[in-house]
Amino acid sequence: MSADESARRDVREPHDTQESRAASRPQPQRPGAGQSAGNGRGNSAGSSIGNSGGKGLRKTGAKTSAKTSGRGTAQPGPPGLAARDAATAILLKVVRDGSPLGPLLEAGGAPGFRALSAQDKGLVRAILDAALRHRGAIEDAIRKRLERPLDEKAHRLSALLHLGATQILYLDVPDHAAINLAVTAAGRDRRTAKTKGLVNSVLRRIARERSEILASAASVKGAPDWLIARWEKNWGPERTAAILAAHADAPPLDLTPKSDPAELAERLSGDLLPNGSIRLDRLHTVSKLPGYDSGDWWVQDAAAAIPARLLGDISGKRVADLCAAPGGKTAQLAAAGAIVTAVEKSASRMRRLKGNLERLRLSAEFAEADVFSFQPAESFDFILLDAPCSATGTIRRHPDLPWTKREDDIVTLRELQQKMLAQAANWLKPGGILVYATCSLELEEGEEQAHIFTKSHDMFEPMPLKTAEFPELQDFCTPEGFFRSLPGMAFGGDARGVDGFFAARWRRLN
């Protein structure tokens, strides 16, 4: 099997939740003894696709063509070039323009990507996942091997070098194939045609010095300086180092079962985590797993499954799930027997939510509205607000996040969260429970937000989490009684840990 085919096979089909889309991104492979395409780092024993064991570049025979970036007529290119062209265009959108990666890889996304075959789309996902996950180390390797810095406007040249180096360092693609395709791509665009020699020499040097580069990669910052400075201030240097190390590894695949976790874990040959989540090796075609068609489970990081559980016994009770899409938490609430109202303002995300619940054979009431325009007919017994946030706790699933966020975003989101939380409080019955959650590592979106709400709402009393109530969460319960997880924190003895999440809860006084 060719290197391109090997990389392409390491791709999962799109499935049912936002968490699952992140989990399904192809896992890049570091070259090394005994590694073959599709046999990713950090995976446990288990059935997976893409474990071909094949190496070496073999042309697939598929005819591909690429435009010269709007400069000249379309000319046929060698196999694999169209995929690299698409990856280059998407990388530029992410790192230059700050566009989120996800929408560019979905229907209606980047035109060059949409036109590719399913196999080439898988290859592009693999390249971009590795390029963004290891961006700091890759940029450092390129910078040290240039005779002079690139012009700050040389965006396409920078992207070509970055993607070529990505394949050499982190994907199971032969060096000569990665280098030749990068040089060819440079030569087909007049903006970079004169840099073919530079591309060739820099990438050849990176290939020669691969072992040295990978050995020092862990010491290179894996996120922008402003973000690392925040984490070191809030969590300390040691915790920050653990967070960055977790981001460098693609995460495992966690499932939330609809019922009987132990039986499902045995059926799937997965690990049963203390909270009832089932952890699998990432390399699975999710829709081919047992129980997918029958709706026995959904993809959801173990930490993302905690906030809904903090509500307690909700069977037969009215529960509002605010900002509900893509539906992982809605499914939890419905499976627990609640009468759920899922509130979501986005029409497209609401369609996805409904489709997910249909597969799971679960039901809910739906309100296509934002939190500020929603007008419930009656109050709720329980409310779960999983608020929009910077999502810095999910970088290991979304490696583009560090490069598309700005510090100003956190300020804007903090104000929105505060208003949403205050609005949600109006709809809770006396004696009812409110849970607020975010997938952020930032204190302003978590701990500080909870303190502000408590001080400004004297009709709500905090309900601190206690280890007696949730013994499995003892490492995640803060002194104030909040739930706080950070990437790099082991869970149930599994060193792969969980995403970064925050949750707090209150009871409305009578």
Q: Are 305 and 277 in contact (CB under 8 A)?
A: yes
Instruction: Map residue 365 onto helix, strand or coil.
Output: strand
* Residue 304 annotated as part of some ligand binding site: no
Is 328 part of any known ligand binding site? yes
Q: Does 370 appear as a known binding residue? A: yes
327 annotated as a binding-site residue: yes
Helix (H) or strand (E) holding 231: helix 225-248
Measured CA distances, 261 to 23, 132, 405, 430 (Å): 20, 34, 37, 34
Cα–Cα distances in angstroms (integers) from residue 450 to residues 348, 435, 437, 454, 457, in the given order: 30, 10, 10, 6, 11
153 marked as part of a ligand binding site: no
Please give the full DSSP string across 493-508, using - where no structure is assigned.
Answer: TBTT----EEEEEEEE
Helical pair 81-95 and 175-187, crossing angle rounded to 10 deg: 70
Please identify which residue in the block is written with the tokens 């009468």. 339
Alpha helix segments (H runs only) across 381-446: 401-404, 407-425
- Structure tokens that stand for 255 in this block: 């499932």
Catalytic residues: 439
- CA nearest 66: which of 79, 86, 78, 82? 82
Q: What amino acid occupies position 310?
A: L
Count how many residues are written for the chain. Answer: 510
CA distance 426 to 406: 32
Is 325 among the annotated ligand-binding positions? Answer: yes
Beta bridge partners of 387: none
477 is in an annotated binding site: no
Binding-site residues for S-adenosyl-L-methionine sit at 323-329, 344, 370, 386
Binding-site residues sit at 323-329, 344, 370, 386
